[in-house]
Structure 1
Amino acid sequence: MVRTIARDHGEKRQHILRTAARVFAEQGYDRASMNLVAQECGVSKANIYHYYDSKDALLLDLLQGHLTALRDRVAAVPLAGLEPEERLHLILREILLAQQGGEDEHKILLTGLALIGAEEQKALRQLQREVVDQVSAILRDLAPESLGTDRAKLRAVTMSVFGMLNWYTMWKPNAGAGARETYARLVTDFALGGVRGI
C-alpha cells in the first residue's frame, strides 16, 4: 500500500529546514546531529528521517531552497527600460531584502557548499552564478570602457559589491526592510563612485 502524504507535509518540512539552518549555524554543521535537529524541532529522530534520509540530504535541500528562492526573487525584479544606476539599486535592494530572516541559511551557504558532492555543488554554484552575473552585467553597463574589456577587473568589482552585501547580512541580522533599503542605496552610491573612478 502506498503511503499518502500528510496535508501539512510541506509546512513540517519547512519547519525542519528553518530549524536545521539555525542549529547548523549555531553549532556548526559537523557538530550538529540529526538528534539535535529533531530535539529543536520538537519531533522524534524517526520523524526527521521520514523527511530526510541523512544530514547531507537535509543540508542539500536547505542550500538548494535558499539559493533557488534568491535567484527567483532577483530574476523577478522589473528592470526593463531602467538606467543601470537604478537597476543596480533595485537588484542590491532585492538581494538584501531576500536575506532578511534568512541569515542562518546564508551563514550555512558560506560554509556548507564545500561539504556536499561535486555534482550537487555544480548545480548550486550555477544558481549563485545567475545572481552574480546579473549584478556583474549591470556593473559592466555602468563603466563599459573599463569593465567591458577587462574580465578580471569586472569580477573583482562584482565580488567586492557582494562582499559588502555579505558583511551586512552577517553583521546586521536584525536589520529591518528600511535599513536594508538604506544600505542598498549606500552600496549603490559607493559602487557608482568607485566604478567610474577605476
Structure 2
Amino acid sequence: MVIDLFKCIGCDACTVSCKAENRTPPGITYNVVLEEEVGTYPNMRVRMTPRPCMQCQNAPCVEVCPVKASYRGEDGIVVIDANRCIGCRYCIAACPYGARSVDEGMSYRTEMQAADQVTVPEYGVERTGHIKDQGLQGTARKCTFCSHRIAHGEVPACCETCLGDARVFGDLNDPESAVSKLASSSRASRLKEELGTNPSVYYLR
C-alpha cells in the first residue's frame, strides 16, 4: 500500500469504513489517522499520517509469538490465527507501530440491535455472535488489509472509501503496477525503516 500524505485530508473515512467492514468492537480501531503539528509559528500546519498495519516482511510480532498464531501469508499479509492465539500480548508489545490490539470481549450489543449476529470476516471463518461467546476474548487483533475482500478481487475498504484518493493498493512485486511505481518514487519513504522491519506500507511526502 502507498499513502500520499499530500492527498490525505484527515477526514477519517478510512477509519470509519475499516471499523464498519471489520466489525471491530469498542476500543479497537485498525486504521487510525495520527495528527502532528509541524513547522514553527506562524508557519505551522497539521500533518495527517494514516497508520494501518505495516504488514512487515520482517515482522517483530511474528517473531515473538510463542505459539505461531501470527504469521505472514503467501500474499505477504501478516495475519493472526485466533484459535491458536493465547492472548500473551507479546506481539502487541513487539509491534513498533502500535498496530495491534487485544480483544477485551466488549460489544455494541447494548447500543445496536443484533450487533452480535454479524460475521467477523477477519478470522476467515463464518463466526457470528459475541467474541466472548466464541472463546476468543483476550486474543490479538489487527489490520489484515481486508484480506477477505482481496480474496474476492476487491481492494481494502480504506482504499475504496478514501475521499482524496490518497491510498493505492496492489502488488509490490509487479514492477508495472501503480503501487510499485509509486513505492519506487523519490518521494516514498517508510516508517521506522531503521528497525529493519521492511514495512509494506509506503508514504509519499
Shorter-chain TM-score range: under 0.3
Q: Which has the higher helix share?
A: 1
TM-score, normalised by the number of residues in structure 2: 0.23
Q: Which protein has the larger Cα radius of gyration, Structure 1 or Structure 2?
A: 1
TM-score, normalised by the number of residues in structure 1: 0.24
Higher relative contact order (CA 8 A, sep 6+): 2
Q: Which has the higher strand share?
A: 2
